[in-house]
Amino acid sequence: MNKFINPFKFMPLRKAMCWGIAFLILTSIYCWQIGLRMKSISQTNYLGDRLWAATLRQIVVWLLLSVVLYVIGLAASRSKIRFWDVATYNLFARLPFNLSLLVFAVPQVRSVMALLMEGSLATVMQYQGTLMLVSVVAAVFSVWYYVWTYNAFSVATNLKGFKGVSLFIVGWLVAYVLSGYAMMLF
């Protein structure tokens, strides 16, 4: 169970990088095919992208969070911090978020989300079961993503406890705001 909650203590850096790159490529292709577009670190919409843009968006959100967490690690940790440790583990930690996007391949979910984007709230309420499914999937995968991202940060920077959690939250919020602005650039 501990390997599932915090795989970063047990996983070699090379293996994490290979899995992370593979999922980055697959997620980019998936977003391009389904018509999803990254709006920030943890938000998507159905505006669609070309393959190169979908890939670039995936890389930007990954690197942006990695750089912010690396800078925080350099400033706050007494350990020697390497950027590639932070970046590689952060890339692997995105797997739960990437897997959560699979729910948007379900046709009924796509149609309900399209109705939500149009503002047809009265019509959407007819699909409460689908909304509950999406909500539960989003909640489970979000918690999984945040736990893994924190654990990746903690292992890579050796920041733990209250100090590690609070610095991680600040870093994630800064990266979230910056990623929203970065996604508007292209």
pLDDT value of position 131:
85
CB atoms within 10 A of CB 26: 11
Where do the structural domains in the chain lie, given as residue ranges?
A: 7-183
Distances (CA, A) of 141 to 30, 78, 119, 183: 18, 32, 26, 22
Radius of gyration over every alpha carbon of the chain, rounded to an integer in angstroms: 17
Strands 44-45 and 37-38: antiparallel
pLDDT value of position 78:
93
pLDDT in tens, the chain (186 residues): 788 899 999 999 999 999 999 999 999 999 999 999 999 999 988 888 899 999 999 999 999 999 999 999 999 999 999 999 999 999 999 999 999 999 988 888 888 877 877 877 778 788 888 888 889 989 999 999 999 999 999 999 999 999 999 999 999 999 999 999 999 987
Which secondary-structure segment (H or E) carries 68?
helix 51-76
